Amino acid sequence: MAHKSGRHFLQIPGPSNVPDRVLRAIDMPTMDHRGPDFGKLGRIVLEGCQRVFQTSGPVVIFPGSGTGAWEAAIVNTLSAGDRVVMVETGQFASLWHAMAKRLKLDVDLIPGDWRHGVDAAVIEEKLRADTTHAIKAVMVVHNETSTGVTSRIPPVREALDRAGHPALLMVDTISSLGSVDYKHEAWGVDVTIACSQKGLMLPPGLGFNAISQKALEAGKTSGMPRSYWDWQEMLAPNATGFFPYTPSTNLLYGLREALAMLEEEGLDNVFARHIRHAAATRAALQAWGLENLCLDPRDYSPVLTAVMMPDGHDADTLRQVVLDKYDMSLGTGLGKVKGKVFRIGHLGDFNDLMLMGTIAGVEMGLHAAGVPHRQAGVAAAMDVLAGRRTVGQAAKAA
Ligand SMILES: *Cc1c(COP(=O)(O)O)cnc(C)c1O
């Protein structure tokens, strides 16, 4: 590959840019994971995770991807044949659904149009109709990375409570944790699933579960076979900061640094920054005259924006032009929106000038690829960042 000068722009919605501080932290000799120093590192990262998930309960860290953490959530709490409710918010919800079926769950999938978040009223209806409590879990994706739609979780909790239903609530925060406000404990979530390579600003390789007491209890009677993913195997050595098998030692050095960075900036400031960058991005879309895939302003994602292409124009052709000419990777359309949308990631280690570089790259790419648009997106985004213009930030600020 020919050398390209300057920095590559990695503007896919995960893996996200890894900050230099994290790269430097990972660049260490590998340590003895059974030695005394490791226990201290383990304790620091496990406690730091509790603050980011906003829980006082246990968080476990697997060497694995987000997909592994999805599986861990299921096999630690449910049994084959259990009925669960899932919502088709997009490609990631569809993949989790496919996994649930392979693990022999009886899934009631609420269909969706990939342009809206979870409708808690539909969930409530299903729970009320389930008088025998056959439904064992409600499983939703917080930030649907394929569509740029963030579902509101508290109304889902309220639906369970209003229906007086004991089902577990499981939430995929794989692309929202560390970018969008999320309260595992206060929102009454039983299992929260996350991974390292999105809001946590790390390379891929860590999967997380935050676990409620009720989910731990459910594990005692759950009939799924499990071994690698078994929470109990993890929790016993975790008490002293150790792991039952070899952890991703160097990624945990990185995690310690990433958690420190989030806390130095302040989680609330991190969340506000993401909301602001998302608003500036939407201002650019509007100025270009392009449509946002997300139709409900209450559910606009602070993490990414999925942009619809005008008819007759292929999103992946545009992405290729942007990559070739400007060395920037944009997210491809996944599943049924392939070719129809591209996704702009604005998450993780990111600031105003990185966003402006991103928006400029898209605008120049639209021009180079011959996609009809108004050349006004850069100016519109700058207006938002400079505070000259506000864009409806809806419920995300609340
Ligand atoms: C990225 C992502 C996943 C999959 O995570 P992997 O680490 O690729 O296994 C699942 N759900 C959501 C919402 C995601 O963004």
Ligand 1 centroid–CA 294 distance in Å is: 19
Ligand 1 centroid–CA 303 distance in Å is: 13
Burial class (CB in 10 A: 0-12, 13-18, 19+), 20: exposed
Confidence of residue 397 (pLDDT cuts 50, 70, 90): very low
Confidence of residue 395 (pLDDT cuts 50, 70, 90): very low
Nearest CA to ligand 1 atom 3: 66
Q: How many beta carbons lie within 10 A of that of residue 1, not counting itself?
A: 3
Report whether pLDDT(396) > 60. Answer: no
Ligand 1 centroid–CA 206 distance in Å is: 11
Report whether pLDDT(239) > 60. Answer: yes
Token representation of residue 264: 């130095």
Strand order in the sheet with 304-308: 291-292, 304-308, 341-345
Ligand 1 centroid–CA 75 distance in Å is: 18
DSSP character at residue 331: B
Confidence of residue 391 (pLDDT cuts 50, 70, 90): low
Mean pLDDT of 199-204: 98
pLDDT at 229: 98
Name residues contacting ligand 1 (CB within 6 A): 14, 65-67, 92, 141, 145, 172, 174-175, 195, 204
For ligand 1, pick from 67, 71, 99, 332 the residue to mutate: most ligand atoms within 8 Å of CB: 67
For ligand 1, pick from 174, 206, 251, 332 the residue to mutate: most ligand atoms within 8 Å of CB: 174
pLDDT digits (tens, 9 = 90+) for 173-200: 999 999 999 999 999 999 999 999 999 9
Which residue in 343, 331, 333, 337 sits closest to 281, CA to CA? 343
Report whether pLDDT(209) > 70. Answer: yes
Ligand 1 centroid–CA 177 distance in Å is: 12
pLDDT digits (tens, 9 = 90+) for 307-326: 999 999 999 999 999 999 99
For ligand 1, pick from 195, 251, 304 the residue to mutate: most ligand atoms within 8 Å of CB: 195
Alpha carbon separation from 247 to 215, 231, 237, 305, 326 (Å, rounded): 23, 14, 12, 34, 38
Report whether pLDDT(300) > 50. Answer: yes
Nearest atom (ligand 1) to Cα of 13: 15
How confident is the prediction for the chain on average, in pLDDT? 96
3-state secondary structure of 262: helix
pLDDT digits (tens, 9 = 90+) for 103-161: 999 999 999 999 999 999 999 999 999 999 999 999 999 999 999 999 999 999 999 99
Q: Determine what percent of the chain is predicted with pLDDT higher than 70.
A: 98
List the chain domain ranges.
Answer: 20-263, 267-397
pLDDT at 212: 98
Identify whether the C-beta of residue 22 lies closer than 8 Å to the C-beta of residue 357. no
Q: How far apart are CA 304 and CA 246, in angstroms?
A: 34
3-state secondary structure of 138: strand
pLDDT at 1: 72
Ligand 1 centroid–CA 119 distance in Å is: 22
CA 215 to chain centre: 21
Report whether pLDDT(393) > 60. Answer: no
Nearest CA to ligand 1 atom 6: 66
DSSP character at residue 104: T
pLDDT at 394: 35
Query: What is the sign, positive or negative, of the torsion defined by CA atoms of 78, 207, 57, 199?
Result: negative
The b-or-e profile of 238-272 (16+ CB within 10 A means b, else e) is: beebbbeeebbbbbbbbbbbbbebbeeeebeebbb
Ligand 1 centroid–CA 367 distance in Å is: 32
Report whether pLDDT(283) > 90. Answer: yes
Burial class (CB in 10 A: 0-12, 13-18, 19+), 220: exposed
Nearest atom (ligand 1) to Cα of 67: 9
Identify whether the C-beta of residue 315 lies closer than 8 Å to the C-beta of residue 332. yes
Nearest atom (ligand 1) to Cα of 69: 9
Report whether pLDDT(65) > 80. Answer: yes
DSSP character at residue 110: E
Rg (CA), the chain: 21
- Between 142 and 397, where is the model more confident? 142
Nearest atom (ligand 1) to Cα of 197: 7
- Topology of the domain comprising 267-397: Aspartate Aminotransferase, domain 1 (3.90.1150)
Specify which residues 109 forms β-bridges with.
86
Mean pLDDT of 217-233: 97
- Topology of the domain comprising 20-263: Aspartate Aminotransferase; domain 2 (3.40.640)
Ligand 1 centroid–CA 383 distance in Å is: 33
